[in-house]
């Protein structure tokens, strides 16, 4: 005759490391410790099987982080504004972040395309150098020479309009002037040459540095007006 055996009780000692006491339940801890170790614990909605095992909490938080990361890369066509407006805003934001990053340094160790490194100090520029840079920048943006002028009937009486190719050549000249005026070789004391500028290994780095240098000059002018 067989007798019905009682179900075996779960050996809770196997749920934790040998030689250590079972993990504490949140309700058994002081309130201060409970808030620190179980920030998600809610006594009114407590899972009866909830113990001090952090595995489930870690997995849940990891899942939330992965979901947030995935959502951050999702294109939402229903968002306000046209797609091109959002893309422009994104690039403007990244450009501002880049300027803020590079503006905090006064010295730059820059890798060249031959694998060597050269160190340059950021130096202040004179008023005439600043005028030269910003006049050239204005010509590129407006596609007009700095002395361009029209009469009341719209006829050109001074200067000239610039073609896209002329503006591109002026952009190259502007980059060279920025490098020459703002960056000085820490070892030789010489300004960065046009050849050195062309042989920087990562163009985005040197472009970001030069834009930040220009931004610093503009910021100083703004402060001077206060």
Question: Given this model, what pLDDT does residue 225 score?
Answer: 39
Q: How far, in Å, CA of 8 to CA of 74, rounded? A: 50
Question: Given this model, what pLDDT does residue 7 score?
Answer: 52
Q: Quote the pTM value.
A: 0.59
Q: How far, in Å, CA of 153 to CA of 65, rounded? A: 63
- CB contact set of 179 (below 8 Å; sequence gap of 6+): 191, 192, 193, 194, 196, 197, 206, 210
Instruction: Look at residues 192, 165, 36, 42 and name the one whose alpha carbon lies nearest to residue 110.
Output: 192
Better pLDDT: 86 or 203:
203
Instruction: Look at residues 62, 41, 43, 64 and name the one whose alpha carbon lies nearest to residue 52.
Output: 41
Token pair, residue 139, equals 């010509």
- Whether the pLDDT of residue 80 is over 90: the answer is no
Mean pLDDT of all residues in the chain? 77
pLDDT band at 209 (very low <50, low <70, confident <90, very high): very high
What does the CA dihedral 34, 35, 39, 45 come to, rounded to 10 degrees? 60
- Express each pLDDT in 7-46 by its tens digit: 555 444 444 444 444 555 666 666 766 666 566 666 655 4
Most confident of 41-55, 61-75, 88-102: 88-102
The beta-strand segments (E) located in 20-111 are 107-111
Least confident of 41-45, 96-100, 166-170: 41-45
pLDDT band at 58 (very low <50, low <70, confident <90, very high): very low
């Amino acid at each position: 005759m067989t007798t019905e055996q009682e179900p075996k009780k779960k050996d809770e000692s196997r749920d934790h490391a040998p030689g250590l006491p079972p993990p504490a339940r949140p309700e058994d801890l002081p309130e201060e410790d409970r808030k620190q170790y179980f920030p998600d614990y809610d006594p009114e909605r407590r899972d009866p099987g909830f113990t001090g095992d952090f595995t489930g909490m870690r997995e849940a938080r990891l899942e939330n982080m992965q979901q947030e990361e995935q959502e951050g890369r999702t294109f939402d066509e229903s968002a306000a504004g046209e797609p091109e407006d959002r893309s422009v805003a994104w690039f403007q934001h990244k450009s501002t972040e880049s300027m803020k990053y590079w503006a905090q340094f006064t010295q730059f160790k820059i890798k060249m395309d031959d694998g060597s490194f050269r160190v340059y100090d950021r130096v202040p520029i004179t008023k005439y150098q600043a005028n030269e840079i910003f006049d050239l920048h204005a010509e590129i943006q407006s596609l007009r020479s700095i002395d361009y002028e029209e009469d009341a009937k719209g006829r050109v009486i001074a200067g000239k309009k610039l073609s896209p190719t002329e503006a591109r050549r002026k952009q190259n000249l502007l980059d060279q002037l920025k490098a020459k005026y703002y960056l000085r070789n820490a070892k030789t004391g010489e300004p960065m040459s046009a050849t050195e500028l062309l042989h920087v290994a990562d163009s985005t780095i040197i472009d970001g540095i030069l834009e930040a240098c220009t931004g610093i000059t503009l910021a100083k002018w703004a402060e001077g007006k206060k």
